[in-house]
């Protein structure tokens, strides 16, 4: 229908030109991490808006995280941590039964157990923090944090107390006040090491590999104690192997897995070096179990034995 009539010929004038606009329907597709130089998966949305009158064409490309895939990866990770912590608790309980006596507890290095407890406490705190930050995944991360809490708070702390009591029996046989002093000393040292570790973690943010390698040197103290005090079989082979494997699982996930739920640049060289370093410690411990604590020390350096 014409918009208005011309006064001269009363013929309808041409309608006013209308701007013609068209828009294409946005298309969706999932990009792999290599296409975006990221390991996470994204959802891409493309759209094109065209105005023929203005001779304008606008192309839009939008990205968003694929939360379904991301949450699925996070769930798989928490299952891994839960299984690893469960295995760790099993081998730890078996080892604690073997060293429940005073003589058996004296042969275990307190520094070795303390470093393991500190590492597990950090993992417990980290998983609990991630669960609080991402509410839909709270139950999964809280379960993983709970098993890590069992490892360091119930098992490792109790084992540390047994070792401390075996090495300082007089402090636990002189009354309640002396026992309180011993317990205060033990727990203050543990929490002090936690605080120092947090400070080092903050100061070494750009050198996390050195911090991680230092915290994964927990077998060194036991190797030295075996050689100095001539302890041949203080730890079970199942505990040595199980603890080594379970402690390597999480670092290898972040350094070696190309499809993880957090964006951490894969570091295959660091992962291999960490495996070699911790495996070397475990191998030396196992060799001390079989060949004796002094097999790798030259005889000239050993103290002379007397019958």
What digits encode the pLDDT tens for the residues 7-63?
Answer: 444 444 444 344 444 444 444 444 443 344 444 466 666 777 777 777 787 787 776
- Give the orientation angle of helix 110-133 with respect to helix 138-149, to 10 degrees: 170
pLDDT of 18 reads: 44
For 248, the token pair is: 């390597």
Q: Where are the domains positioned within the chain? A: 72-295
Q: Is 279 exposed, middle or buried (0-12, 13-18, 19+ CB in 10 A)?
A: middle
**What are the CA-CA distances from residue 273 to residues 52, 208, 267, 270, 278 (Å)?**
61, 14, 10, 5, 9
Helix (H, G, I), strand (E, B) or coil at 292: coil
Which comes out higher in pLDDT, residue 79 or 68?
79
User: How many whole angstroms separate alpha carbon 282 and alpha carbon 242?
Assistant: 10
Residue 170 reports pLDDT greater than 50: yes
Q: Which of 62-71, 155-164, 166-175 has the lowest mean pLDDT?
A: 62-71
Write the pLDDT tens digit of every residue in 276-288.
999 999 999 999 9
- CB under 8 Å to 143, separation ≥6 — which residues? 78, 82
Beta strands in the chain (DSSP E): 21-23, 27-31, 42-51, 56-65
Q: Could you tell me the two tokens for 121?
A: 């406490």
For residue range 95-118, list pLDDT tens digits in order.
999 888 888 889 999 999 999 999
Cα 41 from chain centre:
21
Higher pLDDT, 265 or 189: 189
Task: Enumerate the H helices of 100-155 as residue ranges.
Answer: 102-106, 110-133, 138-149
> Which of 117, 102, 202, 208 lies closest to 156 in space, CA to CA?
117
pTM: 0.74
* Cα angle 200, 254, 138; round to 5: 85
252 with 272: CB under 8 angstroms?
Answer: no
Quote the tokens at residue 275: 């495996």
pLDDT tens sequence across 178-223: 788 888 888 888 888 888 888 888 887 777 788 888 889 999 999 9
């Amino acid at each position: 229908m014409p918009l208005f009539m011309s006064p001269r010929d009363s013929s309808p004038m041409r309608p006013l030109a209308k701007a013609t606009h068209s828009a294409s329907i946005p298309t969706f597709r999932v990009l792999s991490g290599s296409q975006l130089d990221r390991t996470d998966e994204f959802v891409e949305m493309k759209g094109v808006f065209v105005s023929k009158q203005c001779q304008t064409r606008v192309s839009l490309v939008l990205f968003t995280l694929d939360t379904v895939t991301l949450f699925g990866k996070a769930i798989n990770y928490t299952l891994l941590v839960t299984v690893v912590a469960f295995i760790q608790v099993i081998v730890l309980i078996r080892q604690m039964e073997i060293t429940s006596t005073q003589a058996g507890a004296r042969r275990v290095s307190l520094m070795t157990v303390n470093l393991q407890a500190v590492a597990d406490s950090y993992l417990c705190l980290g998983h609990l923090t991630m669960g609080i930050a991402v509410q839909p995944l709270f139950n999964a991360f809280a379960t993983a944090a709970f098993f890590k809490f069992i490892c360091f708070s119930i098992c490792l702390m109790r084992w540390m107390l047994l070792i401390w009591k075996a090495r300082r029996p007089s402090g636990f046989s002189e009354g309640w006040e002396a026992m309180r002093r011993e317990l205060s000393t033990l727990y203050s040292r543990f929490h002090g090491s936690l605080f120092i570790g947090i400070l080092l973690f903050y100061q070494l943010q750009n050198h996390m590999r050195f911090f991680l390698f230092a915290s994964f040197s927990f077998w060194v103290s036991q190797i030295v104690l075996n050689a100095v005090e001539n302890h041949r079989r203080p730890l079970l082979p199942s505990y040595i192997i199980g603890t080594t494997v379970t402690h390597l699982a999480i670092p290898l996930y972040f350094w070696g897995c190309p499809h993880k739920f957090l964006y951490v640049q894969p570091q295959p060289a660091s992962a291999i070096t960490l495996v070699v370093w911790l495996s070397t410690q475990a191998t030396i411990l196992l060799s001390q179990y079989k060949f004796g604590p002094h097999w790798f020390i030259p005889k000239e350096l050993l103290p002379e034995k007397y019958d």
